[in-house]
Structures are given as structure tokens and as C-alpha cells.
Amino acid sequence: MKKADAQRRETLAILVGGGPAPGINSVIAAAAIEAMKSGLRVVGLREGFRWLAEGDTSHVDELELEDISRIHLTGGTILGTSRTNPAHDEATLQHVIAALSALGVRYLVCIGGDDTTYGATQIAQRTKGKIGVVTVPKTIDNDLPLPENAPTFGFETARAVGAEIVESLMEDARSTGRWYLAITMGRKSGSLALSMCKSAGATLAVIPEEFRGNKFDLAQVVDTIVGAIIKRRATGHDNGVAVIAEGIAERIDTTALAAAAASKADPYGHIHIADIPLGILLRDRVHAALKQLGIEVTVVAKDIGYELRCAKPLAFDVEYTRTLGYGAVRYLLGGGSGALVALAGGRVTPIDFDQLLDPNTGRIRVRTVDVSTESYEVARSYMIRLEPQDFEEPALSVLAAQTQLSAASFKARFMASALVYTGVGPCFRG
């Protein structure tokens, strides 16, 4: 293509922010192809907002059809990604806008989660239509407030891959007579952990939405797991897998997490959960609690996370993301800006950024697991964990017999862990 021809054509730019998720390349391909068909020049911005935040316009790829025609079948992202916050401060935001203007960008497609969407809102507000901005909801955490409770793209693939890993851990646990504490991704939402547990039929899931208050004691999590181990032993089984959402670490009082104090925050102000050894901490606390009760069990911590993010997308996520990428471009070419594209009733539905913002924080609202729904109730009903009815006879004495505690002492120690559920439903009382 001649340089003069490129300069005469309007430019659509695509970037990726945040962690990888299956389906990113499919969005890139669909958006690029639709833009090319509409006569636009398409460029890929390398590593999200990283270089733009410095005013650097040199990390840009000119995308052609042969570059992207089959990438929808692959994991990862051909453009790379970063967690750079374009709205970190006024200078950074001005650098980003100036760089986009220097590149002649008329339309911007941002692929990302809540943080990327927040950055995009700031660019849209400042450019006031001069640059059309749209975001595509990407996160395996499934924590963006999409209409009709639609999943974020990448979640279905991550759940499927994660469930296979959990199934393998369950077989290993059965074969070796041990317990696994599988820590999985989900900073604000326990959706992935719960879905992996439910799909694989793991022993139990522990998610932050189950606990009352903004902060809770680590001992509540420990007793929930220890109670499940005791209840399973009472049925003659010495093995199991607990799937635990990493977001538990953000809800526990940080004084209980020595590593948290040394953990640096990312550009959006989040602590690096990966730097907090939640699995090791829980393993040691659970083992110590069991030993005090006279129970010897091998407990192994296993992190499940990075294996899920760049997996080859399922057909569901490929189809889903191709529609989203197409819809993002059609929205921009129709004069739209300042929205996230989602699917509702099979149709591409733009959601204005303003509707996504939490009026109290000014940040993108986060979707968490609704523990009052039948979906959660079904998952919970198949878990093995202490419930209020377990503290009635004869169940109480059977459970206490697995420990060195009397029935009364067992009830006093573990009753609170059976009452952490905060929703309403026929299976959960107290």
C-alpha cells in the first residue's frame, strides 16, 4: 500500500489491556476484517497502552488480511498486552491522546476487562467524539456487569480447561489419599472457582461472596476447609479437592497476610495477588488445625491460573468473539463512541460507559456471584462442607468422633463456619 493512500484512509486501532484470555485473537481478526471491508486502515497497538502512555508511537503494527485471517483459532494475543493505566494521571492521559492523534487514529477498539474499560472511558470523555472508542469485554474472571448475565469472553474456555485440571487433581487425590487446595483466578468474583468446582464435581469451592462483611478472618476460611475434610472422613474418604478463589486474599485482613505488605500495586492500584502465597498460607494453617484435632492428612497447595489464560479458545468463545469484534466496528462506523459492546438476545448491544460506572467509586462496577440464586444453590448442595443440620444429633457425634473434641466442643468450634452463607434459600438456614 502506498503511504499516501494510507494517509487518506481513516485509521482504526486495536489494543489489548490486562491479562490474556482465550478469544482475544478472534476479536482482533473479526474487528480488523470488518474494518478492512469498510475501507479502513487497521493498525495494532503493541502492549496495550504501555507505549502510548509515554507518547511513543513506534510500537505499532500495520495489519493486513494475511496477518489475521486464521488467528481466531489461537490463544494468546498477537499484539501483546500490558496493565498500563492510560488515566494514571493527567500527563499520562494527555500522552495517550496525543499519541493516538499523531497516529491518525479515528477509531479505537480496546479489548479488556474493568480496568481497560475504565481507561477507555477517560479517553472517550476527553476526545469527545474525535476518536470513537469502544471496548470489548474480556476476562476469565467473568466479573463485568453484562446484560442478561452473559459471560465475558474467555470465561467459558477457562472454565472448561480449569475443570479438566480439577478432575485430574481429584483422581490424584483419590489415588494418593491427599487433599488439594486449588487456588484459581478471580480477584473480585468467585465465578470461575465456583464454576470449575461445579463442572468437575470437586469437593467444595470457597469464594469471597459467601462471607459477610468487606473483611473477614482467615480462620473462617480455614475452618470451612477443615470442616469439609472432617465431614468427608466421616464417610470413609481421606481425599478431596477444594477450589478457592484468589479474591479471598483481598477480603482477608492484610495483617494476616505478611506478604501483602511487601507486594507492590499495579498501575490500577490493585495488589499483586500472585505475590501473596495464599495456597501455601492456607495449606499450613489447615495442616496445623488438623494436627491440633489429631488428624493426619497430606494437604497440597496448587495454583491454577496462568494455564487458563492463553488456552486455545473453545468454539463458543470463537463464535462469541467474532460477533463482538464485528459488532464493535459496526458500532463505531455507525457514529457510536463511549460504550462497551455486549450481546443481548443474540444482538450486539452497546452499553454506555456511564451505565457501567459505580457512582460511589467512579470505577467500573464489578459483577460478583449472586449467592441467592438457584445456580449457586445447586453448586452448594453438591459440595461436602459443614451445614447447620450437621450440628444436630446424631450427625454431630459422628463428626466429633473424627477429632479429639467432644460433641459440644466441636459444635462451638465449627458452628460459625457453617453459617457464613449470606443468601436465602431452602437449603441454607441460620
User: For residue 293, what is the domain's CATH number?
Assistant: 3.40.50.460
Task: Answer yes or no: do 301 and 318 share one domain.
Answer: no
382 phi, psi to nearest 5 deg: -95, -5
413 domain-assigned: no
- Predicted local confidence at residue 97, as pLDDT: 97
Task: Answer yes or no: do 7 and 126 share one domain.
Answer: yes
Task: Answer yes or no: do 131 and 265 share one domain.
Answer: no
Instruction: Judge whether residue 35 has pLDDT over 80.
Output: yes
Domain span at residue 60 reads 3-149+313-356
366 domain-assigned: no
223 domain-assigned: yes
364 domain-assigned: no
Task: Answer yes or no: do 179 and 159 share one domain.
Answer: yes
Task: Answer yes or no: do 52 and 125 share one domain.
Answer: yes
Instruction: Judge whether residue 72 has pLDDT over 90.
Output: yes
204 domain-assigned: yes
Instruction: Judge whether residue 243 has pLDDT over 60.
Output: yes
Task: Answer yes or no: do 327 and 255 share one domain.
Answer: no
Q: If you average pLDDT over residues 396-413, what whole number do you get?
A: 97
- Predicted local confidence at residue 422, as pLDDT: 47
In order, the DSSP letters of 219-279 are HHHHHHHHHHHHHHHTTT---EEEEEETTHHHHB-GGG-HHHHHPPB-TTS-B-GGGS-HH
Domain end marker among 309, 324, 344: 309
Task: Answer yes or no: do 175 and 138 share one domain.
Answer: no
Q: Are 408 and 384 in contact (CB under 8 A)?
A: no
Confidence band of 258 (pLDDT split at 50, 70, 90): low
Q: If you average pLDDT over residues 177-193, what whole number do you get?
A: 96
Q: What average pLDDT does the structure give for the chain?
A: 91
Confidence band of 172 (pLDDT split at 50, 70, 90): very high
Instruction: Judge whether residue 68 has pLDDT over 90.
Output: yes
Placement of cell 469472553 in the chain: 153
- Predicted local confidence at residue 349, as pLDDT: 96
Instruction: Judge whether residue 85 has pLDDT over 80.
Output: yes
Instruction: Judge whether residue 421 has pLDDT over 70.
Output: no
Q: If you average pLDDT over residues 277-298, what whole number do you get?
A: 95
378 domain-assigned: no
Q: Are 214 and 177 in contact (CB under 8 A)?
A: no
Domain end marker among 326, 356, 386: 356
Write the DSSP symbol of residue 417. Answer: G
Task: Answer yes or no: do 319 and 305 share one domain.
Answer: no
Task: Answer yes or no: do 183 and 130 share one domain.
Answer: no
Domain end marker among 309, 343, 364: 309
Catalytic residue ranges: 141
Taking the complete model, does pTM exceed 0.95, yes or no?
Answer: no
Task: Answer yes or no: do 160 and 301 share one domain.
Answer: yes
Task: Answer yes or no: do 178 and 265 share one domain.
Answer: yes
- Predicted local confidence at residue 423, as pLDDT: 46
Task: Answer yes or no: do 108 and 254 share one domain.
Answer: no
From the number of C-beta atoms within 10 Å of its C-beta (0-12, 13-18, 19+), residue 99 rates as buried
For residues 304 and 182, give the distance between their C-alpha atoms in angstroms, rounded to a whole number.
Answer: 6
Instruction: Judge whether residue 287 has pLDDT over 90.
Output: yes
Task: Say how many domains are in the chain.
Answer: 2
340 grid coordinates: 462497551
Instruction: Judge whether residue 278 has pLDDT over 50.
Output: yes
412 domain-assigned: no
Instruction: Judge whether residue 304 has pLDDT over 80.
Output: yes
132 domain-assigned: yes
Q: If you average pLDDT over residues 374-400, what whole number do you get?
A: 96
